[in-house]
Amino acid sequence: MALSNDNRIGRHAILLLLSEDSVGQLKKLEQSNWKGCTGKVGSMEAHKVVAAIETAAKKNGIIQSNVYRESHALYHAIIEALHGVTRGQVQLGSVLRTVGLSFAILRGNPYDSELEGDWIAVSLYGTIGAPVKGSEHETIGLGINHI
């Protein structure tokens, strides 16, 4: 059941965010049988971050819209990634802070064994801080789930 060194889904999902050439990198991943997409969202409301990622995942065919188990897997991956971003309470505007985030979603099998099937990774990178220009620092989050 070991993680395949080349297929570390979380590492790929984060490098997509931090890369200078995320388009090229995504293309390479797609050639290796990964499904993925990237996007951006800024908001004081956590539910808008959730919605932006869910919409991107469905529009880009990364999850099947009409199968709840796929939405369920994605939802929990998003919330787990938000834990890394918020570090304590999954709250933004209600505690007077805002985020500006890039996100990546990646789907594929990170394990050596084919039995492990598909997994999904959601990575977030950007800034968090007061709703005042410049009053912010960086933040990152990663959620991984079987799908």
Site for a second copy in 86-145 (CB under 8 A): 86-91, 93-97, 110-111, 113, 115-117, 119, 121, 123, 125, 127, 129-130, 132-145
Kindly tell me which of 37 and 110 has the beta carbon lying closer to a second copy.
110
Which residue in 14, 55, 99, 105 binds a second copy (CB under 8 A)?
14
Helix 22-31 vs helix 9-18: angle between axes, to the nearest 10 degrees? 150
Which residue in 26, 46, 101, 122 binds a second copy (CB under 8 A)?
46
- At residue 56, the 3 state secondary structure works out as helix
Stretch that binds a second copy, among 3-11, 25-33, 34-42 (CB under 8 A): 3-11
Q: Give Cβ neighbours of residue 30 (< 8 Å, ≥ 6 apart).
A: 36
The residue to which tokens 């997994």 are assigned: 119
Which residue in 30, 37, 68, 104 binds a second copy (CB under 8 A)?
68
How many angstroms separate the CA atoms of 81 and 92, rounded?
14
Residue type, 29: L
Which residue in 83, 101, 102, 104 binds a second copy (CB under 8 A)?
83
- Dihedrals phi, psi of 127, to nearest 5 degrees: -125, 155
Which residue in 42, 43, 75, 102 binds a second copy (CB under 8 A)?
75
Could you tell me if 14 and 142 are in contact, meaning their C-beta atoms sit under 8 angstroms apart?
yes
Smallest distance from a second copy to CB 54, Å? 8
